[in-house]
């Protein structure tokens, strides 16, 4: 039977979030009904709510959800999750396309339709307002800015009963993206030199990953002194305030005239991406994970690019499979090698506006909304 829930609703693009009652539909065979304990706030949620992405309203966003032993119900097609399991939530995939079948689930050929269409595959929405109006939902297969969520089966990641969900709620997007870009996309090796452009939550997760991979030089670049200080605490060996001069030149001063071996952009800003590529040394590799508006373009000196053999690639979700990433990160945390508590701040859902404001201002690195 349909049931009531509370959710953060956006009724107008660029308008406020409001905490409202909604109606949750019965689940389908490939879905689960879960009670959300915590949901990370990602800038992608805020960009969509502001109308910077092709979405519709009224809408419920949220794509970093976690559930503590409160999987309430599972559809008959879901066999690896049971009611009562503890789960994290991540992005949704089709399982049957060439990319999914070859192990590249982050590049599912239906990734946009399944995660950004705001509806199920049959065109229905599992969520509605009390007056019956359908909500843009199913965001990343979950729309977890709600105390009860209808979740696509491919978005469920079962984790151990002792998993600290408030710290790991962001696994589903920003954590696995930042870590995965270092581990998978750039494949940073011991002794490498790495530059991370933008040290918000994505960049700081990447800094932690560089330390885990025993990189020799880890350079954090940002305009906020407090973020650079935190990056140093988490493993950066050098910092650059990008508002104070020529970043590429400063990198060469640290690494030598040959430039950097690996570089990661977490900003999505075209000018910063161009600087990152210019900073690469011979056969260096750069990667973008920062969200930007569709249609963003950059300029590359093609002659330098092929003469030096440099590479510039994109990385969705850090090329990560959350089912593989979760146990690896949980082990790193249990060994004291992932100090997630240093960048995570929990807010009760009733304080959601303060949480959003703190994320936008930079006061908080990774905000987590708690629903209990």
Give 34's strand partners. 71, 149
From its phi and psi, is residue 217 left (phi > 0), alpha (psi between -120 and 50) or beta? beta
What are the structural domains of the chain?
A: 3-172+339-370 (3.90.180.10), 176-317 (3.40.50.720)
Among 46-55, 215-224, 247-256, the range with the most confident prediction by mean pLDDT is 215-224
Cα separation, 165 vs 151, in Å, equals 17
User: Distance of alpha carbon 166 from its chain centroid, rounded?
Assistant: 15
Give 202's strand partners. none
Q: What value does the mean pLDDT take over residues 156-166?
A: 91
When pLDDT is cut at 50, 70 and 90, the band that residue 2 belongs to is: confident
Above 80 in pLDDT, residue 252?
yes
> 172-176, 228-232, 237-241: which range is least confident on average?
172-176
Residue 293: the pLDDT is 74
CB atoms inside a 10 Å sphere around CB 84: 10
Q: What value does the mean pLDDT take over residues 29-54?
A: 93
The mean of the pLDDT values for the chain is 94
Cα separation, 287 vs 279, in Å, equals 12
Q: What value does the mean pLDDT take over residues 59-85?
A: 91
Cα separation, 307 vs 31, in Å, equals 51
Cβ burial of 164 (10 Å; 0-12, 13-18, 19+) is middle
When pLDDT is cut at 50, 70 and 90, the band that residue 257 belongs to is: confident
Above 90 in pLDDT, residue 35?
yes
Above 70 in pLDDT, residue 68?
no
In the block, tokens 């979030």 appear at 17
Above 70 in pLDDT, residue 292?
yes
Q: What value does the mean pLDDT take over residues 347-365?
A: 95
From its phi and psi, is residue 342 left (phi > 0), alpha (psi between -120 and 50) or beta? alpha
Q: What value does the mean pLDDT take over residues 158-182?
A: 93
Residue 52: the pLDDT is 84
Q: What value does the mean pLDDT take over residues 203-223?
A: 97
Q: What value does the mean pLDDT take over residues 268-281?
A: 94
When pLDDT is cut at 50, 70 and 90, the band that residue 53 belongs to is: confident
Q: What value does the mean pLDDT take over residues 174-185?
A: 97
Q: Positive or negative, the Cα torsion across 26, 28, 34, 36? A: negative
Q: Angle, nearest 10°, between helix axes 225-234 and 201-212?
A: 20
**pTM for this structure?**
0.95
Residue 239: the pLDDT is 97
Residue 69: the pLDDT is 64
Helix (H) or strand (E) holding 278: helix 270-278
Count of alpha carbons within 13 angstroms of residue 359, beta-carbon side: 23
**Checking DSSP bridges between strand 38-40 and strand 65-67, what pairing results, if any?**
antiparallel
Above 80 in pLDDT, residue 291?
no
Cα separation, 306 vs 319, in Å, equals 25
């Amino acid at each position: 039977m349909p049931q009531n829930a509370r959710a953060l609703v956006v009724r107008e693009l660029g308008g406020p979030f409001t905490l409202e009652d909604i109606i949750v539909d019965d689940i389908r065979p490939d879905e689960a009904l879960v009670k959300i304990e915590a949901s990370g706030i990602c800038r992608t949620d805020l960009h969509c709510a502001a109308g910077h992405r092709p979405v519709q309203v009224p809408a419920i966003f949220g794509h970093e959800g976690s559930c503590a032993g409160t999987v309430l119900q599972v559809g008959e097609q879901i066999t690896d999750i049971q009611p009562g399991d503890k789960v994290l939530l991540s992005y949704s995939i089709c399982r049957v396309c060439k990319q999914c079948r070859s192990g590249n689930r982050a590049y599912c050929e239906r990734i946009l339709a399944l995660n950004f269409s705001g509806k199920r595959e049959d065109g229905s929405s599992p969520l509605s307002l009390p007056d019956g109006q359908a909500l843009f939902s199913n965001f990343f297969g979950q729309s977890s800015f709600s105390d009860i969520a209808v979740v696509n089966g491919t978005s469920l990641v079962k984790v151990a009963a002792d998993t600290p969900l408030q710290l790991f709620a962001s696994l589903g997007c920003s954590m696995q993206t930042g870590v995965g870009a270092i581990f998978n996309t750039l494949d940073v090796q011991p002794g490498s030199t790495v530059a991370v452009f933008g040290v918000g939550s994505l960049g700081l997760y990447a800094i932690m990953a560089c330390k885990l991979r025993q990189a020799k030089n880890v350079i954090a670049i940002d305009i906020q002194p407090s973020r650079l200080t935190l990056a140093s605490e988490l493993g950066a060996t050098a910092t650059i305030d990008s508002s104070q001069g020529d970043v590429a030149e400063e990198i060469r001063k640290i690494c030598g005239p040959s430039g950097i071996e690996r570089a990661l952009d977490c900003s999505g800003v075209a000018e910063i991406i161009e600087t990152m590529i210019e900073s690469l040394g011979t056969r260096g590799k750069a990667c973008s994970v920062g969200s930007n508006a569709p249609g963003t373009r950059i300029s590359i000196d093609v002659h330098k690019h092929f003469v030096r053999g440099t590479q510039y690639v994109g990385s969705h979700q850090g090329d990560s499979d959350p089912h593989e990433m979760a146990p690896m990160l949980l082990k790193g945390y249990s060994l004291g090698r992932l100090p997630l508590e240093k960048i995570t701040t929990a807010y009760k859902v009733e304080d959601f506006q303060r949480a959003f404001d703190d994320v936008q201002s930079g006061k908080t690195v990774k905000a987590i909304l708690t629903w209990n």
